[in-house]
Amino acid sequence: MDKTYNPQNYEDKIYQKWEKSGFFNPDNLNLSKNAPTYTIILPPPNITAKLHLGHSAMLAIEDLMIRYHRMKGYQTLWLPGTDHAAIATQNAVEKKIFKERGITRHDLGKEKLLEEIWKFLKQTQATILRQTRKMGASLDWSREAFTLDEQRKKAVAQMFVDMYEAGIIYKGERIVNWCPRCHSTLADDEIEYKEQKAILYFFKYSKDFPFIIATTRPETKLGDTAVAVNPKDKRYKKYIGKIYKINFCEIPLKLKIIANREVDMNFGTGVLGVTPAHSMADWKMAEENNLEIKKVINEEGKIYKGFNEFSNKTTTQAREIIIKKLKEQNLLEKQEEINNNLSICYRCGASIEPLPSKQWFISVDKKIKKLGNKSLKEKAIEVAEKEEIKFIPERFKKRYLDWMENLRDWCISRQIWFGHEIPVYYRKQEIYVGVKKPESKNWTQDPDTLDTWFSSGMWTFSTLGWPDNFKKNKKSGDLLKFHPTQILETGYEILTLWVSRMIMMSLFALQEIPFENVYLHGMILDKNGKKMSKSKGNGIDPINMIEKFGADAVRLSMLIGSTPGNDSRLSEEKIEGFKKFINKLWNIARYILSNVKCQMLNVKYQNLTLADEWILNKFNNLIKKINDDLKKYNFSQAGEKLRKFTWDDFADWYLEISKFEKNEEKNEILFYILKNLLKLWHPFIPFVTEIIWQEIKTNNLLMIEKWPTVSNKFTNINIDNFEIIKNIISAIRNARSENKIEPSKKIKTIICTEKYVALIEKNKELIKNLKTNINELEIKKSCDVKTQDDRVIRIIIDDIEIYLIDAKDKEKEQARINKKIIELEKLIFNLKRKLLNKEFINKAPANIVENEKEKLKLYQTELKNLKL
């Protein structure tokens, strides 16, 4: 073993060894059929780019849970895959070919573009899978899936057909969010908002119209068919119901004055021009009032034909002309700058145009027989409310429910080329919906593709063999064995986008939940708390970090110091710190393996020293705590406890003691703790632990070793005596450091209260040897000491007085004592007051009162001694 641990030399080899072993696949674990299963389906990364730190966090957390359960004896399946990310991928490729060749997708044509996309996809997909392996992820590659492979195509088509036949999928005309750049619809939550300044124009449609309206989009007013006012608004009450026929910029409009409670009397003039075709709210008003729907803007973002000079102009051009005309006709009252939230496409940033369009929808409100006559929405709410699905952290349940309750029908068709084709075929007036294209001629398929979340919504069961494994409403094969899965672990930002869809899709297809728990991790921010992004250049590349510090260090930096659902900051320094820890673990193992003959004998643990008992107690309690923390998803705390034990207790104390305190069983204890410590660490840092395990030359892989069990024999040992010795040693070290006792003037004598003489005498060697710089040592009773002696340093540890002979700096010591006295007086004052309080005495638990009383006594003796 090298002096320092160099991850590059080992990681790839170890990963290959794991993969070859076949144990990533639960079928090879040789477990009984009754062994419980534990399944996580990996959230498939988009194949648009390489791995980022969010993925690393996801992989670290999931691999931790997976490896832990595998070692605990579960049939553990972690199923990998990638997502075709329809719009995102097509955009990425379109950008690429435009940059490289200056051509658009329309120049290229559908077939060629798809060819390009598949070429691109193969590359990025391979990169992502290679990078996932670099993280040490123990995924079952034999079950790998892609959201757009043959099996998933089959599942998606079947799902569409089933939903269509159940009347859940329908085609309808609605206002949709249209991205003129992507030429496609977007779902409500695919929209982002950007705050910006906008101009609010106040004007009259024409001279003969009675009042002024205000709008930020004058060009849409060409399609107004009504004007809405608040029914309570006294200014306009008398106009309600009237109809005006006017000319607005030479375009004839027929406007009905309607009342609507949602009109804000204080915004603008309190009058709202209703444009049913280009506003979601106005569409609703149109439905309620039977208004005519007049389309103004087409799918190119241009004005339709039939609007005179405006036709074929862009919205911006049209707006300019209208403003000019209004000014000429003296109809423009004023302009005001306001803050406005612009809707933009989450992919390309172009501003969204709401337009009416014929699209495919999934109804969330239609009652479904096989769901007990409940709708998808109702059922999806029910499973969360009844806690069939639990959220970690819990607060996300509320966010999920809020979103679900306000959910509208989900528009699933997209006007892009890359994606799942819609299994709908047309022939003149006929329509056919089926998994396979009808054999007779002249059928053409629906040109649209499906929203990428449609296929990823089916991810938990499409990967487990649905629909083949689901005949006559009965699960079989993998689907029977592994569904519902135990946990879905993902970033909270896709809670609504993805998690909710998965729940609805699974409920519809299988009438069961897709997962029992949803664990949501936070975002990884840079060290200034900013989101990492390519454009800002503040991103940390995980692969780069793995090369520099090793995968284990990267994993630890994701797991320790962050809590579920909260964002966390990451810096190179943090990762570097964990690399140091890994090196420490490496050296602990190196020391033990080179100094200790390691063989697991049947040790009886009979001649144990204080230190032996102490470390065995600590270790067995550690196992208990780790189990507890992992059960509660407190990964960070589990990691910190492990680190504390490994570094502070095991390395700094026990290993040091083992260098001189020899007894028969020491080797066995060292070896026992090392072996089991490696097991506890394995889910966190699989590489280094496995490499050390291989150095021990065991025949098995650590990956499939049994998780350590707690030995109750040691958990209840009293370790107070060792703690006392530890404190004495610390106090001596402290005195050395604080008072600068010169090495030449050696401490020879410890004088203490009678009660402890025997204990300290017995552990004299320990005290001498543990970096206290003491060669000779005699222990005396405290009644013998001359406290007036200048050379005496008095240390009080709990109720033990210790006098160290030979102090150099008297003043410093006095200052220290004075400070301590003040502290003690304060504590005693507070304690006395507390103990005089009758309510405390009567109401607080007896042990706590007792505790306080003892404490008071202790402080008082300590104070007395100090004041001497």
769 binds RNA (CB under 7 A): no
Determine phi and psi for 336, rounding to 5 degrees: -130, 145
For RNA, which is the closer residue by CB, 118 or 840? 840
What's the closest the beta carbon of residue 735 comes to RNA, in angstroms?
A: 8
| Structure-block tokens of residue 396 | 């996300």
DSSP-assigned letters across all residues of 309-347: GGTT-BHHHHHHHHHHHHHHTT-EEEEEEEEEEEEEETT
SS3 of residue 453 by DSSP = helix
Of the ranges 187-195, 373-381, 412-420, 435-443, which one interacts with RNA (CB under 7 A)? 187-195
Q: How many residues bind RNA (CB under 7 A)?
A: 95
Determine phi and psi for 147, rounding to 5 degrees: -65, -10
Residues 6+ apart with CB under 8 A from 309: 321
**Residues numbered 482-501 forming contacts with RNA, rule: CB under 7 A:** 493, 496
Radius of gyration of the chain (CA): 36
d(CA 458, CA 156): 8
* Pairing state between β 449-450 and 413-414: antiparallel
**Residues numbered 126-145 forming contacts with RNA, rule: CB under 7 A:** none
- Candidates 35, 166, 200, 792; binder of RNA (CB under 7 A) is 200
What's the closest the beta carbon of residue 104 comes to RNA, in angstroms?
A: 30
- Between helices 846-867 and 810-836, what is the axis angle to 10°? 150
- Candidates 843, 846, 867, 868; binder of RNA (CB under 7 A) is 843
d(CA 530, CA 53): 14
d(CA 159, CA 460): 14
Report the C-alpha dihedral over residues 12, 16, 19, 23, rounded to 10 degrees.
Answer: -90
- Candidates 289, 298, 634, 860; binder of RNA (CB under 7 A) is 634
For RNA, which is the closer residue by CB, 52 or 574? 574
d(CA 612, CA 725): 13
- Candidates 584, 762, 832, 853; binder of RNA (CB under 7 A) is 584
Of the ranges 79-87, 476-484, 570-578, 804-812, which one interacts with RNA (CB under 7 A)? 570-578
Nearest of 289, 218, 293, 277 to residue 248 by alpha carbon? 218
448 binds RNA (CB under 7 A): no
4 binds RNA (CB under 7 A): yes
- Candidates 29, 374, 647, 757; binder of RNA (CB under 7 A) is 647
Degrees, nearest 5: CA angle 493-494-499: 140
- Candidates 158, 215, 621, 667; binder of RNA (CB under 7 A) is 215
For RNA, which is the closer residue by CB, 455 or 658? 658
**Residues numbered 725-754 forming contacts with RNA, rule: CB under 7 A:** 729-730, 733-734, 736-738, 740
- Candidates 34, 316, 535, 594; binder of RNA (CB under 7 A) is 594
Task: Write the interaction track for RNA spanning residues 524-543; mark x where CB under 7 A is met and - where it is not.
Answer: ---x-x--------------
Task: Write the interaction track for RNA spanning residues 145-184; mark x where CB under 7 A is met and - where it is not.
Answer: ----------------------------------------
- Side-chain half-sphere CA neighbours of 300 within 13 A: 8
What's the closest the beta carbon of residue 599 comes to RNA, in angstroms?
A: 20
**Residues numbered 659-698 forming contacts with RNA, rule: CB under 7 A:** 659
Neighbours of 374 (CB within 10 A): 16
513 binds RNA (CB under 7 A): no
SS3 of residue 65 by DSSP = helix
CA distances (Å), 644 to each of 8, 590, 617, 619, 639, in order? 26, 19, 15, 11, 9
**Residues numbered 396-425 forming contacts with RNA, rule: CB under 7 A:** 398-399, 402-403, 406
For RNA, which is the closer residue by CB, 90 or 496? 496
For RNA, which is the closer residue by CB, 566 or 718? 566
For RNA, which is the closer residue by CB, 604 or 833? 833
Nearest of 594, 598, 596, 616 to residue 607 by alpha carbon? 616
- Candidates 174, 183, 548, 590; binder of RNA (CB under 7 A) is 590
For RNA, which is the closer residue by CB, 39 or 658? 658
- Candidates 3, 369, 534, 867; binder of RNA (CB under 7 A) is 3
What's the closest the beta carbon of residue 260 comes to RNA, in angstroms?
A: 9
- Candidates 199, 710, 821, 844; binder of RNA (CB under 7 A) is 844
Asked whether the beta carbons of 809 and 745 are under 8 A apart, the reply is: no
Asked whether the beta carbons of 256 and 289 are under 8 A apart, the reply is: yes
390 binds RNA (CB under 7 A): no
**Residues numbered 263-282 forming contacts with RNA, rule: CB under 7 A:** 263-264, 267-268, 270-273, 279-281
Of the ranges 1-9, 20-28, 71-79, 317-325, which one interacts with RNA (CB under 7 A)? 1-9
Of the ranges 304-312, 379-387, 640-648, 778-786, which one interacts with RNA (CB under 7 A)? 640-648
d(CA 635, CA 576): 20
Asked whether the beta carbons of 863 and 828 are under 8 A apart, the reply is: yes
**Residues numbered 286-325 forming contacts with RNA, rule: CB under 7 A:** none
Task: Write the interaction track for RNA spanning residues 227-266; mark x where CB under 7 A is met and - where it is not.
Answer: -x---------------------------------xxx--
DSSP-assigned letters across all residues of 723-783: HHHHHHHHHHHHHHHHHT--TTS---EEEE-HHHHHHHHHTHHHHHHSSS--SS-EEEEGG
